Each structure stands twice: as C-alpha cells, then as structure tokens.
Amino acid sequence: MTKKEASEFVGQIKQEELKLQEIEDRIESYSSKARECRNIIISLQAGEPSPDIPTKISELLNQASYYDSLAEHTMHTERYTQIQNYDFVKETASRIRHTLMYNKGILSNYLESLDDIKQTAKKMIIEAEQKINNVEFLITQQERELIALEGECSNG
C-alpha cells in the first residue's frame, strides 16, 4: 500500500468518526427539542389557567413524544449502523497495520538473505575463476613441457 492509500484510509476512519459524531449530535438535538417541549409544558401548567392550555399541552406532549421517538430511532438504527461501520474500518486498519509490519519483517529477512547469497555467490565466482586460472596455468605448463619434449605445439 502506498503512503497515499494509507492516508486515504486514515481519512476514511476520520470520516466515519465525523459521521458518528453528526448522528450523535442529531440525537442530542432531538432530545433537546423534547426537553424544550416538556419545559414549556411545565411553565404552562404553572402559569395562568386558560382554555387553550390543554390543547397546547397536548400538542407539546405529541411533539415531545415525536422528538423522543426520532432520537430513539436514530440511536437504534443509524447510530448502531455507523458504530459498526466505524469499528469495521478501524479493525481493517489494525489488520492491515499488523500485516504490513509482518511483511516488512519478511522483506527485511529477504534482504539480509539476499546479502548473504550475494556474498556466497561472490566467493563462488572467485573460487571458480581461481580454478579456471589454475587449470589454464596447468595447461600452459603442460604445453611448454610438451613443446620441450616434442619440439613443437600439439593441440590434442
């Protein structure tokens, strides 16, 4: 994974956090509106009696109930789903981070192994070249010896 992909993934975690916060803010807003309705009901009940008050109280109770149900519904559906999404993204990031560290360890081992293999190969090449030089020297010596014995160069 490139650094850009990693930063986009971190960005996705942040986006999921922001979505969750927005849902929680919405739930708080619904709950706050329900509390406002109940506070108005309390002030109406404490105030001057009026023929309109029971109707207003009923309407405010309906509104409070409506906002409570919105808060409850949002909490149990959207918030729950968003928490699952958030947890999934964080868990995925954690798994990728673990796998990345593991793979970096493997790469490090391979690089060390490659260096050892290169050193071994260099030694083998040096030894092979030395053997070739030894055999060439031996052939040259044998050719000289043969010339000395026969008086001319023979190729076989």
Per-residue model confidence as pLDDT tens digits over 48-92: 888 888 999 999 999 999 999 999 999 999 999 999 999 999 999
- Containing structural domain, residue 64: 3-118
Q: Measured between alpha carbons, how far is 96 from 13 in angstroms, rounded to an integer?
A: 13
Residue at 28 is within a domain: yes
User: Does residue 45 lie within any of the structural domains?
Assistant: yes
pLDDT(38) > 90: yes
Could you tell me if residue 109 is inside a domain? yes
Per the structure, how many domains does the chain have?
Answer: 1
- Residue 79, domain member (yes or no): yes
Classify residue 85: in a domain, yes or no. yes
**Does residue 62 fall inside a structural domain?**
yes
Sign of the dihedral through C-alpha 133, 135, 140, 141: positive
Residue 154 lies in a domain: no
Which CATH number covers residue 27? 1.10.287
Question: Which amino acid appears at position 3 of this protein?
Answer: K
Count of helices and strands (H, E) across the chain: 3, 0
